[in-house]
Structure 1
Amino acid sequence: MEYKLTPAGLAALLDELVTSRRVFGPVRYAGKGRLAGTDLITYGPVKGLADVVWDARTTFSPKEVFFPVKESLFYFSDGEITESALKASEILETVVFLRACDLNAVTRLDKIFLENGPAADNYYARRRQHTHFVLMECQESFPGCFCVSMGTNRATGHQAALRPEGGYYLLQALAEPWLSLGERYGQPADVEPVWVQKNSLTVKVPDRVDTSLFQHELWREYSSRCIACGRCTLSCPTCSCFSVQDIFYRDNPERGERRRVWASCQIDGFTDMAGGHKVREDRGERMRFKVLHKIDDFRRRFGINMCVGCGRCEEVCPEYISFARCVNTLSQLMNGGAGA
């Protein structure tokens, strides 16, 4: 069903929604941006319509809602182990407002955590089962996006789709509670979905990557430019790497907990092994690993590219390293060109 809502109608709808559900979406934190005098647009709790930012891309992805930066897995005490439990607030139904690229990114995370092995990751699954999505339709592309090239400008798997247009909000209700809410707060209308048709940036993903390119000189550029800050991967909506830490409590060293914490193939120390052995110590090799995993290795396993073309990695990189440029260079090399 499709509905047209006034701003007051959508505000009332959200006021009702937040009484029984946790709601997250793009929000603005004034003065918290990377540069002085700038705002941070990222994901946070939504208490009402005024909180939602419609006209800007978030610096970070929505994955933190159901894949926390830091998570306790279990507690240990005097030889006994107790699995962590979700807080009461975390088992509430959760609604996340997100873009098509990020909704496609959830599909990638689901494959990694739920399909990549003999058993699903229980810690991810127990949050994911309570999480539902509202698609924020993009009427035009943000700078640096290349979702059309990655085939992620369209999406499925959402309960509803919403966009502001002509002073109203147009709602496509696909499931409850949006069907009931739309009927209660909106007026029936003919609403067609809107999808981004063209980005200013075009990326050509090579059909395959020859192993001869593993030692190509193009990776040397990143050996000197990359500073291993990890911003690219930590802002990425599809990166899922983590490390495990055992925390011992000061008051009783026999008690503690095991946590998993976001980590990254781009950060120093991530691939350190017992005996002092280091894998991909050179930062150019790490860039190679990341890029090829995003557009080749993952596709070989799951049939789709891991990268969804959101452009966040380029936006946050302090060295202005372009993932898109690197992929286009690989494509040119595979087609016999000299590369960019």
Structure 2
Amino acid sequence: MDWLLWGSLLLVAAGMAGHLLGGGPQWWHTFSHGIWELMVKAWWGILIGIAAVGILGQVPKEVVAGLLGRGGSFSGILRATFAGTLLDLCNHGILMVGMQLYRKGASLGQTVAFLVASPWNSLSLTLILIGLIGWQWTLVFIVLSMLIGISSGFAIDRLVAAGRLPANENEVVLAEDYRLGDGLREGWRNVRPSSRNLGKMVRTGLSESRMILRWIFFGFVLAAAIRAFVPTGVFEQYFGPTLVGLLLTLVATTILEVCSEGSSPIAADLLNRAAAPGNAFTFLMAGAATDYTEIMALRETTRSWKATLALPLLTTPQILVVAWILNQSAAF
């Protein structure tokens, strides 16, 4: 019995029912509304993420290795970063896809680069952010997030090569005569529409997304509970462009489970109302670096705390330094 998964799912279902039925004390109203809001914003990303995991499960590992490039190489890190930036999914869907890429042989550095570059850099959310803060700041945030993804992924792969971090046991070494076209044709045979293929993809998507879903639903419950019992003003009052405000932003984005659709308007508010572009960048990026959903999912996939903690330990200092520079530049 997976108590965390089913217990969290039960609370999510109760919260959604409470939102629809109404009534109850104020804390329950806030909790149920928070659950409803998170599910409304994230359900499509979760479903597409499950579907993507199911499709990737039928694609040969060699195809994934051929598309992402050799693990440990700079070109492989670049490909993973661009894949994360361009894939149009919310952070919950991206997380499931990233874990499946690791199972398919992507290096630890490629997985981290994919995750760090991706949470809010999808096309639809980029357009939303342009409307909220303008294309100049949006372009700055995209470029900086990609640079952090590249530098973090490359550093992690160097640590793996030096034996400081564990290598991916699923790593695939392509034969010299391997042809990507043959692999793509095989992959298409496995995923082209048919009742047999559809059944396999659904089973694979649900079974291999289960460990991620437990942390997503648990995150929803925790975030809704914080909304219910911690006044919003406690957070809003201290998010100014100071070192304390920056650190508090880091703490808040670590604790709060905010999906990518929700992080964009909050980040825009930090930039426009608090005049703190660094805090906005931190809110967008640190969720990928310190979010417990991502950390626990990475731990269960890699089965290594060393590999898991490399994500926040390498990315968070870069995010804070960049955010501090952004706040200082905006002050002049």
The structure where helix makes up a greater share of residues is: 2
What TM-score range do you get, normalising by the shorter chain?
under 0.3
Taking structure 1 as the reference length, the TM-score comes to: 0.24
State TM-score, norm by structure 2: 0.24
- Structure 1 or 2, whichever has the larger Rg, is 1
More strand by share: 1
